[in-house]
Amino acid sequence: MLPRAQALISEAALTGNLTALARRGGARLLLPVKADAYGHGLEAVARVAARHPDVWGFGVAVPQEAVTLAALGLGKPVLLLTPPALEEVGLLADLGVRLPVASLAEADALPPHARAHLKVDTGMNRLGARPDEAVAVGLRLAERGVLEGAYTHFATADEPDLSFAHEQLSRFRRVLEALPPVLAHAANGGGVLSFGPLPGLALARPGLAAYGYPPAHLRDRARLTPVMTLRARVTHVHAVHPGETVSYGGLWRATRETTVATVGFGYADGYPRGATGRAQVLVAGERRPVLGRICMDQCMVDVTGLEVRPGDWVEAWGADEITVSDVAAWGGTVEYEVLTGVGARVKRVPVPEEVTAGG
């Protein structure tokens, strides 16, 4: 079938973002590709990123993502960022997946061929060993010959006030000083853009920024381009007369003759229903309002005065005019949630570098 909604994935944008972030962070990248690469499609993103010299490896959130990635055989390390169940450890270690470790019990449960990254909780209070316990865990891992890395995660690095992030960093450094040399990493996207190079930390883990969305106040720190364009075809064009309403609840009422295009994306495709009443889309390069409630599979757009036919593309977001940041603001949410909400039926279509480079 012809795709209705598609997510174009710009390989040039992704590659450029990786280069810019590695340069800004003075580090190689452990690229987070969790949640289907922030909705962009795990396989397409990982294949492009694996060829990038600044990419050390990949970070995933759940064991199944690690298994899927390992099966692609891209030859780059994969780190699981959350604790596996005990019965998953053997298979993950056999696949070469790097495992997070936060206790002596977890350290002792690893098979001898495993590779571990010590997870230190410096203040996020989500996962990891507290700094006072982390050193003993790290030394046990080193003793067992399985210690490859150590990491922590910032709670506030994407906010303007960096005082707590600095505090977390110094807690992490005190742990590192007590360990043999390891691949250390801490910075998420906000951390990379705020701090720049962190001496002694060889890796960085920028996620959302790698997909083109830095925190708003850090936009000028690196040249980043949104990687995904979400678009769908017009399925129907019709006239609506003054006084008539459009969509569920009759929220929008025409005050003049209006040409309405029905478009094939809705909230099941990831176009947030919460953006109803504020959303705009791009039709033939022009911003046009979405009329009335956003439906599950469709939405309606005011195309009065434009030459629009069924089969034409309408853009929900992309790199140019309307971005995921706009859509997230209209929907009362964040870019992370909009991108990871792109529906399973939206076809991810990689746009090879040569095509975008040529314009």
Ligand X SMILES: *Cc1c(COP(=O)(O)O)cnc(C)c1O
- List residues near ligand X by CB under 6 A: 32, 34, 81, 153, 188-189, 205-209
Minimum distance of ligand X from residue 215's CB (angstroms): 8
Active-site pick, 34, 38, 76, 151: 34
Minimum distance of ligand X from residue 282's CB (angstroms): 26
DSSP codes, 210-247: GGT---GGGGGGS-----EEEEEEEEEEEEE-TT-EES
The verdict on whether residue 256 carries a ligand-binding annotation is no
* Residue 298 identity (one-letter amino acid): Q
Minimum distance of ligand X from residue 127's CB (angstroms): 8
Query: CA triplet 136, 34, 67: central angle to 5 degrees?
Result: 80
Question: Is 267 a catalytic site residue?
Answer: no
CB 288 within 8 Å of CB 303: yes
Minimum distance of ligand X from residue 199's CB (angstroms): 20
Termini Cα distance of the chain: 28
Nearer to ligand X (CB atom), residue 55 or residue 291:
55
Question: Is 211 a catalytic site residue?
Answer: no
Nearer to ligand X (CB atom), residue 54 or residue 297:
54
Nearer to ligand X (CB atom), residue 207 or residue 226:
207
Nearer to ligand X (CB atom), residue 5 or residue 222:
222
The verdict on whether residue 98 carries a ligand-binding annotation is no
- In our burial notation (b when 16+ CB lie closer than 10 A, e otherwise), range 228-240 reads bbbbbbbeebeeb
Minimum distance of ligand X from residue 302's CB (angstroms): 35
- In our burial notation (b when 16+ CB lie closer than 10 A, e otherwise), range 256-294 reads eebbbbbbbbbbbbbbbebbbeebbbbbeeeebebbbbb
No. of helices (H) and no. of strands (E), the chain: 12, 18
Among 101, 314, 323, CA closest to 219: 323
Measured at CB, which residue is nearest to ligand X? 207
Nearer to ligand X (CB atom), residue 224 or residue 283:
224
Contacting residues for 190 by C-beta, under 8 A, at least 6 apart: 154, 157, 158, 159, 209, 214, 215, 218
Active-site pick, 38, 213, 248, 347: 248
The annotation places the binding site at 126, 296
Active-site residue numbers? 34, 248
The annotation places the binding site for substrate at 126, 296
